[in-house]
């Protein structure tokens, strides 16, 4: 594939480190005018007005004091009700903790469950914040492969093949960041059987669970027989309700796990900001048309972006959920690091190279749906001549 001689040495030097390269590209984009950003994963849509008003009302009424470390009782009850109705999980408020975003939920769960030397099976590719949480607990990651031809679905056979005597837990992310794949119900049922036979704990990140495209459906592994007592389910308000900056997530787990997480949270971050918890309560108990409206917007954007990628000759895994497309840059004949640089430098379009999501993904790029349709169309028109110029 093409190695462009005009790539600066500063970019080449960090190309193998996806996180450094991502930040280098973001810094470069910050110094340019009129850049279309298709890299970051934060929803661009506004937080729905009734959620903002609920937070304002709580502040006006002085409902801003500290809550229990596990969260506002009303919110914990509403989360439990939602997870029973939407996810089919047999949980009560005592099984719920409110966290400072989904990332803290993951960190607390890992700290509560993983001891030094424990292995946790992790799908590859993955959002590499998982790596940091596992390493800080002294855990060891064991990669479970997924592939584009299977839309990055997770296979029970691959999970079982990765198990060793040191295996303690399996991480499932559905829908996935970065692949936008989902783990389908049939696969989850087979994986549940494997986890029960091998006595594995399951940590499942479902933060994109309400952003799933027809005809696909979200399914929660914790709803299956024998799984509630071994499953920790992570979620947040960030994606479905466009509330990333509110930093309000939640975890559903067996009560002893919630207690262990609470002990860690008590001496680190303490309770989630109270105003954000009132906003979360309004999100779950208020009108839900915002969720379906936003999903329709993402569905339309997805169609535009996929059409553009087809025109550019990209191969990609079918994006069944979430806010991304995970595309194979080798289908363009240009290495992902070089392609990301060239699209930014010459096309003023920012995308992220795949090495930001695992060292095995040097030929992939992650492209987001988080711009209006006309902007996505403009991005495609900017990218086409760059690809034509450098395509092998």
pLDDT the model gives residue 15: 54
CA 304 – CA 314 distance, rounded (Å) = 14
Partners of residue 231 on adjacent β-strands: 202
Residue 356 has a pLDDT of 82
Of 50, 375, 39, 90, the residue nearest 231 (C-alpha): 90
CA 247 to chain centre: 14
DSSP state of 156: H
Task: Say if 4 falls within a structural domain.
Answer: no
Flag whether 3 is in a domain: no
Which two structure tokens, joined as six digits, stand for 173?
A: 């992310």
Tokens of 381: 């028109």
CATH code of 318's domain: 3.90.1150.10
The rounded distance, in Å, linking the Cα atoms of 222 and 231 is 6
Query: What's the pLDDT score for residue 68?
Result: 98
Could you tell me if 303 and 262 lie in one domain? no
CB 335 within 8 A of CB 391: no
Q: What is the largest CA-CA distance in the chain?
A: 63
- pLDDT at position 20 is 77
| Below-50 pLDDT ranges, the chain | none
Do 201 and 76 lie in one domain? The reply is yes
- Domain edge (last residue) among 236, 269, 285: 285
Average pLDDT over the chain reads: 94
Q: Does residue 242 share a domain with residue 133?
A: yes
Residue 318 tokens, joined: 């079918």
User: Are residue 13 and residue 89 in the same domain, yes or no?
Assistant: no
Cα–Cα distance, 359 to 247 (Å, whole number)? 29
Q: What percent of the chain has a predicted confidence (pLDDT) above 90?
A: 86
Helix (H, G, I), strand (E, B) or coil at 205: strand
Q: In this structure, what CATH number is given to the domain that contains residue 97?
A: 3.40.640.10
Report yes or no: 253 and 205 within 8 Å, Cβ to Cβ.
no
Per-residue pLDDT reduced to its tens digit, 167-211 = 999 999 999 999 999 999 999 999 999 999 999 999 999 999 999
Q: How many domains does the chain have?
A: 2
Give the residue among 375, 98, 37 at the shortest CA–CA distance from 236. Answer: 98
The verdict on 164 and 260 lying in the same domain is: yes
**Helices 274-285 + 49-60 axis angle, to 10:** 140
Same domain, 136 and 200: yes
Nearest to 244 by CA among 152, 177, 172, 316: 177
pTM of the model: 0.94
Give yes or no for a contact between 111 and 340, defined as CB atoms under 8 angstroms apart.
Answer: no
Which of 260, 285, 310 is the last residue in one of the domains? 285
Do both 277 and 255 map to the same domain? yes
Shared domain check, 86 and 27 = no
The DSSP element (H or E) to which 311 belongs, if any, is helix 289-312
Residues 84 and 230 occupy one common structural domain: yes
Whether residue 235 is found in the same domain as residue 370: no
Can you give the residue range of the structural domain that contains 163? 49-285
């Amino acid at each position: 594939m093409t190695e462009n001689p005009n790539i600066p040495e500063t970019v080449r030097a960090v190309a193998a480190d996806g996180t450094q390269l991502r930040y280098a590209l973001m810094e470069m984009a910050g110094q340019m005018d009129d850049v279309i950003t298709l890299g970051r994963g934060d929803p661009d849509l506004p937080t729905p007005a009734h959620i903002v008003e609920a937070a304002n009302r709580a502040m006006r009424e002085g409902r801003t004091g500290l809550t229990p470390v596990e969260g506002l009782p009303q919110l914990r009850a509403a989360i439990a009700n939602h997870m029973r109705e939407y996810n089919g999980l047999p949980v009560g408020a005592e099984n719920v903790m409110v966290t400072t975003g989904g990332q803290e939920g993951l960190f607390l769960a890992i700290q509560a469950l993983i001891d030094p030397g424990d292995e946790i099976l992790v799908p590859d590719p993955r959002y590499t914040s998982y790596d940091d949480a596992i390493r800080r607990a002294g855990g060891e990651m064991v990669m479970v492969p997924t592939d584009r031809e299977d839309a990055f679905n997770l296979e029970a056979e691959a999970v079982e093949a990765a198990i060793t005597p040191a295996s303690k837990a399996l991480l499932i992310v559905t829908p996935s960041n970065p692949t936008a794949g989902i783990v389908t119900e049939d696969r989850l049922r087979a994986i549940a059987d494997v986890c029960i036979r091998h006595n594995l704990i399951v940590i499942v990140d479902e933060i994109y669970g309400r952003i799933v495209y027809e005809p696909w459906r979200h399914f929660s592994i914790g709803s299956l027989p024998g799984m509630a007592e071994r499953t920790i389910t992570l979620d947040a308000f960030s994606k479905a309700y466009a509330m990333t900056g509110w930093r309000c997530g939640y975890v559903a787990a067996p009560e002893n796990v919630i207690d262990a997480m609470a002990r860690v949270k008590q001496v680190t971050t303490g309770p989630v900001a109270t105003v954000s918890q009132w906003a979360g309560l309004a999100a779950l108990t208020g009108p839900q048309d915002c969720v379906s409206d936003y999903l329709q917007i993402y569905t339309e954007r997805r169609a535009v972006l996929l059409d553009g990628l087809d025109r550019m000759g990209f191969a990609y895994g079918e994006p069944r959920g979430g806010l991304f497309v995970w595309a194979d840059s080798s289908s363009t004949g240009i290495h992902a690091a070089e392609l990301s640089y060239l699209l930014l430098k010459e096309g003023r379009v920012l995308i992220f190279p795949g090495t930001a999501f695992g060292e095995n993904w040097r030929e992939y790029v992650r492209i987001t749906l988080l711009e209006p349709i006309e902007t996505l169309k403009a991005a495609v028109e900017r990218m086409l001549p760059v690809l034509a110029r450098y395509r092998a």
